[in-house]
């Protein structure tokens, strides 16, 4: 679809020149097609990190992007998007938290998605996840469980951030896919799951072990070199798609083999 965004008259020596600036808008149908070409399949559990502005102009904005994602995974698929409440301290996050009304702080698409009718949100004060699609309500249920994988973001009323009942851990266990929509590895929150898994292993041997903060970009470079992902443009955005389980397991092994290369 072509659209004339504005017409500007330029006046020079009594001569008027009209310049038409045209913009091509990405449509829902086209975005769906490219998502499928990237490797998104009907029935996928799809976790998404996103920068909508990187797509370029989209007719219908965030609603069109969500529609394309839903079309790509179909009615049997499930879409998961962070709806994190990342205020600058755990105390502020906890004090401000309301599962129904606290805004997502991690991007325009995430907040739009959170507010859509039929979206369900997990009840974690800091690292909640929103879900739409097949089994969405059940998938985000149980984020307050204290089972498995503690992390530094625990709060006495809300745990465990990456426990076995958290949406991110569940997506890892069912081998969902991670779609990085116009973002780089610096935004990859799944690195925190890698850190949590490594830390909990260490705690078994040493209860005083320190949490292993990892270099996200360096691990992303390692993962890219493994060539175990699909990469292409969606709109104007550089995008990656890959198995969450393969990603997390590969990074855990790599850090265990070469810790000094990746520890902050």
What span, in angstroms and rounded, lies between the C-alpha atoms of 53 and 133?
A: 24
Which residues, including other chains, have CB under 8 Å from residue 199's CB and lie 6 or more apart? Answer: 150, 151, 209, 211, 212
Q: Is the pLDDT of residue 104 over 50?
A: yes
In the chain, how many domains are there? 1
Angle at 41 between CA 38 and CA 43, to 5 degrees: 155
Q: Write down the pLDDT at residue 94.
A: 83
pLDDT digits (tens, 9 = 90+) for 206-247: 999 999 999 999 999 999 999 999 999 998 999 999 999 999
What span, in angstroms and rounded, lies between the C-alpha atoms of 235 and 181?
A: 10
| Range in 16-25, 40-49, 63-72, 180-189 with the lowest mean pLDDT | 16-25
Q: Is the pLDDT of residue 162 over 60?
A: yes
Q: Write down the pLDDT at residue 158.
A: 57
What span, in angstroms and rounded, lies between the C-alpha atoms of 169 and 162?
A: 6
Q: Write down the pLDDT at residue 24.
A: 77
177-186 mean pLDDT: 96
Give the pair of three-digit tokens for residue 241. Answer: 């798609």
pLDDT digits (tens, 9 = 90+) for 64-95: 999 999 999 999 999 999 999 888 887 888 88
Q: Is the pLDDT of residue 159 over 70?
A: no
CB atoms within 10 A of CB 67: 16
Structural domain of residue 164, as residue ranges? Answer: 2-262
The string of DSSP letters for 32-62 reads HHHHHHHT--TT-EEEEEE-GGGG--BTTHH
pTM of the predicted structure, to 2 decimals? 0.86
For tokens 């606290």, the residue is: 102
What span, in angstroms and rounded, lies between the C-alpha atoms of 91 and 110?
A: 23
CB atoms within 10 A of CB 80: 26
């Amino acid at each position: 679809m072509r659209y004339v965004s504005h017409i500007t008259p330029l006046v020079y020596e009594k001569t008027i020149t009209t310049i038409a600036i045209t913009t091509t808008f990405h449509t829902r149908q086209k975005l769906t097609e490219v998502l499928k070409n990237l490797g998104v399949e009907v029935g996928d559990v799809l976790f998404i990190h996103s920068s909508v502005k990187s797509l370029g102009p989209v007719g219908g904005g965030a609603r069109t992007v969500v529609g394309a994602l839903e079309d790509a995974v179909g009615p049997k698929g499930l879409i998961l998007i962070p709806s994190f409440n990342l205020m600058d301290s755990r105390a502020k996050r906890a004090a401000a938290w309301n599962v129904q009304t606290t805004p997502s702080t991690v991007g325009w698409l995430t907040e739009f998605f959170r507010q859509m009718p039929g979206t369900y949100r997990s009840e974690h004060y800091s690292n909640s996840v929103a879900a739409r699609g097949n089994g969405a309500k059940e998938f985000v249920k149980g984020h307050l469980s204290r089972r498995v994988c503690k992390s530094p973001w625990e709060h006495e009323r809300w745990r465990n951030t990456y426990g076995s009942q958290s949406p991110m851990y569940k997506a890892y266990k069912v081998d969902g896919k991670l779609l990085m929509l116009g973002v780089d590895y610096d935004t990859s929150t799944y690195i925190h799951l890698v850190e949590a898994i490594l830390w909990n292993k260490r705690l078994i041997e040493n209860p005083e072990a320190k949490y292993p903060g990892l270099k996200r970009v360096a691990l992303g470079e390692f993962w890219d070199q493994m060539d175990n992902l699909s990469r292409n443009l969606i709109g104007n955005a550089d995008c990656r798609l890959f198995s969450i389980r393969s990603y997390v397991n590969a990074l855990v092994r790599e850090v265990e083999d070469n810790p000094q290369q990746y520890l902050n």
